[in-house]
Amino acid sequence: MSAAAVTVRDWLTSPTALRVPRITAAFWIIKLLSTAMGESTSDYLVHVMVPELAVLLGCAGFAVAPSRTGWESRAASAGWDSATAGWRSASPS
């Protein structure tokens, strides 16, 4: 087994590895509220401006959102870069 595979396996089984959150009532409340707010905002924007522009704004929001959440920094601090180094070097160019 390669060193990269062992590193990935160790990282995935470590106590600090990312896990799926527990599905609770609070999860469903937050999910319903965020979905309702997204749908309401979308409907509002489509009615107050040109629909094509509203769709473009929504796409831009989805494109920018990951960079605003700090996911990249959390992934790097969790060792994602070192865990995937072997995959990147082995991938064809």
Does the predicted model carry a pTM greater than 0.85? Answer: no
Chain centroid offset of residue 53 CA: 25
Residue scoring higher pLDDT (25 or 4): 25
28-70: pLDDT as tens digits = 999 999 999 989 988 999 999 999 999 999 889 888 877 776 6
Return the residue matching tokens 């769709």: 55
Q: How many CB atoms lie within 10 A of CB 8?
A: 19
Domain that holds residue 49: 3-90
The per-residue pLDDT for range 72-85, each reduced to its tens digit, is: 555 555 555 555 55
Q: Show the CA angle centred on residue 78, arms to residues 91 and 6, nearest 5°.
A: 50
- Domains in the chain, number: 1
